[in-house]
Amino acid sequence: MIKFVRIPAVLIAATALLAMPAAVQANHQGAHGKSKRCAKAPKVGYSVSGTLVSATADNPATIGVNEASMTLTVTVANSHARNSGEIADQDATTAGVQVAGATYTVTAASDAFSLVLDGFEAPDTPSVGDAVKVYGKIARSKKKCAPEGTTTADRYATPDVRKVTVTDSDPDA
């Protein structure tokens, strides 16, 4: 009698062990087969540094519209800024994305950024050659959550520039 009970008990236990990974997988997946971790794209830091090429101040007479913009020659950018596709690769023959020397423009019309002027004394204003740092956040979908064949640049959304810092580099008179 023990022989007849032992064989079905082993079969039931083996079936339960084989079915467990499928049940766990089904529990963590959403309606489209992706797990819950793919529901939201995390925002990561975005920073670009360079030298000022041109600056346009906001016209205070136009209420509700911000015309401020900063154009800079990029000297360095963090990995998220390089990989996002926002800055063109300057040397395709070198591995990775080379951004040094690229022109990058930030406009207040697309990003409501705060402008910080560091080291300026009245009546001094930003001039060509001043150091500029652009800070923000950018949403990036995870590699496992992106459709197959998606490029790294396509996994990044549009950057949300939050702050632009201009540091005075010329001596005040």
Within 13 A of 60's CA, how many CA atoms are on the CB side? 0
Measured CA to CA, the distance from residue 29 to residue 67 in angstroms comes to 45
Residue 158: band (very low, low, confident or very high) from pLDDT cuts 50, 70, 90: very high
Q: Is the pLDDT higher at 111 or at 28? A: 111
Residue 35: band (very low, low, confident or very high) from pLDDT cuts 50, 70, 90: low
Dihedral angle of Cα 131, 136, 142, 143, to the nearest 10 degrees: -20
In sequence order, the β-bridge partners of residue 131 are 51, 167
Regarding pTM above 0.75, the answer is: no
pLDDT in tens, 90-117: 998 998 889 999 999 998 877 788 888 8
Identify which of 139, 76, 68, 148 has the alpha carbon closest to the alpha carbon of residue 106: 68
Q: What is the pLDDT of residue 39?
A: 87
Q: What is the pLDDT of residue 110?
A: 72
Q: Is residue 57 a contact partner of residue 66, using CB atoms and an 8 Å limit? A: no
Measured CA to CA, the distance from residue 77 to residue 135 in angstroms comes to 10
Q: What is the pLDDT of residue 37?
A: 82
